[in-house]
């Protein structure tokens, strides 16, 4: 069984190849970008769509959007931050837009799909996260689930770094004050 190895080149190098290389090398570079970032984009799309089919469609549309940035259709792309900072708002937009369109066609009388029960302890965390304001929950997810830095979150959301820090601080304080999640913040 052969495995596909992670391309050792940086996103900047791969984007450069997508901009300037011949068709075959540019296609290989784009494929490497796709393999590297598809899980991130799918996770973001699932976060906003709550539906795997919609998330998969958003994944496809996000990478179609990225592909259109490169020649011959686009003028090229210059990375000034991590690629995830560009992909995040695009994936979010497509997931939300597709979910809205899907909701218009959903039969109001249809039974909701069954959900599996959360693992022990995660229901408290999920409930506490659900109790956060959406903008606070979003920065927490980007920071602690997706691993973006404060600067990358600011770039992805188009807000100042100070706002990201403030939202993060307020969200953590709210979680610390919540009796259901307070134990997660206790020192061992």
Q: From 54, 70, 105, give the residue that closes a domain.
A: 105
The number of CA neighbours under 13 Å toward the Cβ of 62 is 33
Q: What is the pLDDT of residues 19-45, one digit of tens each?
A: 999 999 999 999 999 999 999 999 999
pTM (2 decimals)? 0.76
Q: From 105, 134, 149, give the residue that closes a domain.
A: 105
Name the token pair of 31. 């494929």
Q: Give percent of the chain above pLDDT 90.
A: 66
- Domain extent for 100: 8-105
pLDDT at 67 over 50: yes
For residues 11-24, average pLDDT: 96
Do 132 and 43 lie in one domain? The reply is no
Q: From 76, 105, 134, give the residue that closes a domain.
A: 105
For residue 185, name the pLDDT band (cuts at 50, 70, 90): low
| Secondary structure element (H or E) that encloses residue 82, with its range | none
The CATH number of the domain where 60 resides is what?
A: 1.10.1740.10
For residues 106-116, average pLDDT: 44
Do 64 and 125 lie in one domain? The reply is no
Task: Give domain status of residue 23, yes or no.
Answer: yes
CB-based contact 157:138 (threshold 8 Å): yes
Residues whose CB falls within 8 Å of the CB of residue 94, separated by 6 or more in sequence, listed in order: 45, 57, 58, 61, 62, 65
Q: Which is more confidently placed, 78 or 122? A: 78
């Amino acid at each position: 069984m052969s495995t596909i190895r992670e391309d050792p080149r940086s996103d900047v190098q791969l984007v450069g190849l997508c901009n300037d290389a011949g068709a075959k090398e540019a296609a290989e570079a784009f494929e490497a970008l796709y393999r590297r970032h598809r899980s991130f984009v799918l996770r973001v799309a699932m976060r906003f769509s709550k539906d795997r089919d919609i998330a998969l469609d958003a994944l496809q549309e996000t990478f179609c959007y990225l592909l259109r940035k490169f020649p011959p259709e686009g003028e090229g792309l210059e990375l000034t931050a991590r690629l995830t900072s560009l992909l995040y708002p695009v994936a979010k937009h497509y997931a939300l837009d597709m979910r809205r369109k899907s909701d218009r066609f959903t039969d109001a009388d249809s039974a909701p799909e069954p959900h599996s029960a959360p693992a022990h302890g995660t229901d408290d965390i999920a409930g506490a996260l659900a109790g956060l304001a959406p903008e606070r929950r979003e920065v927490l997810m980007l920071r602690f689930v997706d691993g973006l830095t404060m600067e990358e979150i600011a770039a992805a959301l188009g807000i100042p770094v100070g706002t990201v820090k403030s939202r993060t601080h307020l969200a953590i304080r709210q979680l610390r004050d919540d009796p259901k999640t307070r134990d997660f913040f206790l020192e061992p």
